[in-house]
Amino acid sequence: MKMKTKKVWKVTSNLITVILFLLLIFMTFVVVSSKASGGEPSFLGYQLKTVLSGSMEPTFKTGSIIAVKPISDTTNLKEKDIVTFMEQDQKIVTHRIIKVIKQGDQVLYQTKGDNNEDADVNPIMSQNVVAKYTGFTIPLLGYLIDFAKSSKGMAALLITPGVLLLFYSVITILKALKELDKPKKESEKTA
């Protein structure tokens, strides 16, 4: 029975160590990637955007992270595509194309948030489209990413997993030392 408990403890201990280490690596990636890109992190050519409003619900909820793929040819998008574009006030928005408007060489897109009653006021020019939604969403992770962008968040997300890993290592070392002392104490009792 005691041997089984030790084995369970060892597996659990290794699992917790791996999880904390992976968490530390992930948080470091998020913080460094956010700072390097000047905003949203990117991964394998995809940009991760935080959903800040409910205009696209239920497709994706406020606080979610969505993956978008930057596109070079923005003139051949079609209705129902979900695109990320730059508005005139330099604000980034992700909405669905509801109409493609061709005026000579110029292509414009009428967009609308799925949860909005009305279409966006101004059609967007194709050159203002920066990316296309890939269909990948992680709910609620956007709140963590936004927190990671702040100086307090960056410090907390880098330091907390490291401190937890250090604290857990101390506990593991103390437990190992206790196990090493057991045979010594048992031999003193028999002598």
Catalytic residues: 53
Q: Do 112 and 95 contact (CB within 8 A), yes or no?
A: yes
Q: H-helix or E-strand containing 86?
A: strand 82-86
Between CA 41 and CA 109 the distance in angstroms is 27
- Alpha helices per DSSP H over the chain: 2-37, 141-149, 151-190
Contact 126, 138 (CB under 8 A): no
* Cβ-Cβ contacts under 8 Å for 112 (sequence gap 6 or more): 95, 96, 98, 118, 119, 120
